[in-house]
Structure 1
Amino acid sequence: MLDPDFDCPHGCDANGFLFDEVTRSAYPCSCREERLRRRMHADMEDNVGRYAPSRFQNLSFDALPLSGIAENHGAAAGTVRRFTSGIEANVRAGRGLWLLGNKGTGKTTLAYYVAQQARVAGLSVLTRNTTDLLNELRESYKPDAQPTTREIINAVTHVDLLHLEDVSVPRPNDWVLEQLYTIVNRRYEYNKAIVFTSDTPFGEKINPESLSDHVGGRTFSRLVQMVGEPLLLTGTDYRMQVGA
């Protein structure tokens, strides 16, 4: 059974098939592909992850924190708003975003807003902190691990939008670089969209090419082709100001 709550105008069965009384045979309804897509997305979320923690749900540019981010980082926020105004077309075309800058400037919130709008548009979204994702892959090698390595790789490959946080944080070694390359290369080959964030320590010059040191040259090259120039957010840590 695919989706018993799906309201098909053609009256197909729960598996997306219609029955031809003349030929006495079943044939797929026009809605079956969409129902299969929804089932796959639901399975991915059940097996391998959440869309967003409570802090980053129900985001709006009419309220904090997005309204404050837009005030302080108008160019980046404007690009995000334009991107999300055509979110379905952008994601289906494999276009993504890279949010780069100092910690606490709003990169994560903007990325979660993109993920939120993609989900509103009916697209599947998988959000992961990069370190957590790599740890989950390590754990998946154990016998009887859930989710399995195959489930994780299938999810990060086929989900409509992959949202990765803190791509520059994991300490690079051969295994880390191999996993990051596998994830990014599979999405690159399938023309799948990715949105990701990376930090530059406050006071240091922002150099987008330095990400290559963290993810490897081959992975960096593919990411740049998938997302284009990064959106820059610089300044002091907003979280520290709020807590002051």
Structure 2
Amino acid sequence: MLDPDFDCPNGCDANGFLFDETTRSAYACTCREERLRRQVHADMEDNVGRYAPSRFQNLDFSELPLSGIAERHTAAASVVRRFGDRIDDNIRKGQGLWLLGNKGTGKTTLAYYVAQQARAGGFSVLTRNTTDLLNEIRDSYKVDAQPTTREIINAVTHVDLLHLEDVAVPRPNDWVLEQLYTIVNRRYEYNKAIVFTSDFPFGEHVNPAKLGEHIGERTYSRLMQMVGDPIPMTGADYRMQVGA
């Protein structure tokens, strides 16, 4: 049975089929493809991923924390807001975003806003800290592990929007570099959108190419084609200022 709460104007059954009384045969409703897509998305979220922790739900630019980020980083917030306004077009084109900046500048919140808009638009979303995702893949090699390695890789490959946090954090080794390449390359091949964040130390010159040195040039090259130029967010750690 597909989503029983799906409101179809054609009155199809729970599996998305209509019945032709004349021919005495069933045929697929026009909503069936969309219902199947939603079912796949729900299964992925149940088995593999989460959308967003409570801190990053119900984000609105008229309220904190987004209103504060927009005040401190107007240019970056404007780009993200425009991206969210055109979320349907951007996701279908496989267009993503890269938020690059200092710790505590609001990169994560803006990335979650994009994820929120995508989900509100009916797209499937998986959000992961990059280190956590790599640990989950490593753990999936164990006997009887759930989710399985195939389920994780299929999810991060086919989900409409993959949101990765702290891409530059995992310590690079051959295994880490290969997993990152597999994830990025598969999404590149399927023209799937990705939104990710990465940090650089406060006070240092912004140099996006350093990410290529960290994650490998072949992975970096594909990411650059998928997201374009990074959105810089520089400044002191706002979380530390608030706590002072």
TM-score, scaled relative to structure 1: 0.98
Q: Deviations over 1:55-81 (max 9, x none)?
A: 111111111111111111111000001
Alignment of 1:220-231 (within 5 A): 220-231=220-231
Q: Is the 8 A contact 1:170 1:214 kept in 2?
A: no
2:102 equivalent to 1:68: no
In 2, Cα distance between equivalents of 1:156 and 1:177: 16
Deviation of residue 21 (structure 1)?
A: 2.1
SS at match of 1:75: helix
Deviation of residue 203 (structure 1)?
A: 1.6
Range with bigger deviation, 23-32 or 80-89: 23-32
Deviation of residue 138 (structure 1)?
A: 0.3
SS at match of 1:236: coil
Partner of 1:189: 189
Partner of 1:207: 207
Partner of 1:96: 96
Q: Is the 8 A contact 1:50 1:127 kept in 2?
A: yes
Deviation of residue 148 (structure 1)?
A: 0.7
In 2, Cα distance between equivalents of 1:18 and 1:63: 45
2:219 equivalent to 1:219: yes
2:19 equivalent to 1:19: yes
Q: Deviations over 1:98-126 (max 9, x none)?
A: 00010110100100011111111111110
TM-score, scaled relative to structure 2: 0.98
In 2, Cα distance between equivalents of 1:56 and 1:14: 33
Task: Give, as a single letter, the amino acid of the residue that structure 1 aligns with 2:81.
Answer: R
Partner of 1:162: 162
Q: What is the RMSD of the two structures over their aligned residues, measured on CA atoms?
A: 0.8
Alignment of 1:125-140 (within 5 A): 125-140=125-140
2:132 equivalent to 1:108: no
Deviation of residue 200 (structure 1)?
A: 0.2
Q: Deviations over 1:197-223 (max 9, x none)?
A: 000011211100000122111110000
Partner of 2:79: 79
Partner of 2:41: 41
In 2, Cα distance between equivalents of 1:102 and 1:139: 31
Runs of 5+ consecutive residues of structure 1 not aligned to the other structure: none
Task: Give, as a single letter, the amino acid of the residue that structure 1 aligns with 2:71.
Answer: E
Task: Give, as a single letter, the amino acid of the residue that structure 2 aligns with 1:114.
Answer: V
Partner of 2:175: 175
SS at match of 2:15: coil
Runs of 5+ consecutive residues of structure 2 not aligned to the other structure: none
In 1, Cα distance between equivalents of 2:231 and 2:22: 59
Deviation of residue 10 (structure 1)?
A: 1.2
Task: Give, as a single letter, the amino acid of the residue that structure 2 aligns with 1:148.
Answer: T
SS at match of 2:91: helix
SS at match of 1:232: strand
Task: Give, as a single letter, the amino acid of the residue that structure 2 aligns with 1:113.
Answer: Y
Aligned length: 244
Q: Is the 8 A contact 1:102 1:236 kept in 2?
A: yes
In 1, Cα distance between equivalents of 2:32 and 2:14: 10
In 1, Cα distance between equivalents of 2:212 and 2:136: 23
Partner of 1:57: 57
Partner of 1:236: 236
Deviation of residue 191 (structure 1)?
A: 0.6
In 1, Cα distance between equivalents of 2:209 and 2:66: 28
Partner of 1:118: 118
Deviation of residue 22 (structure 1)?
A: 2.4
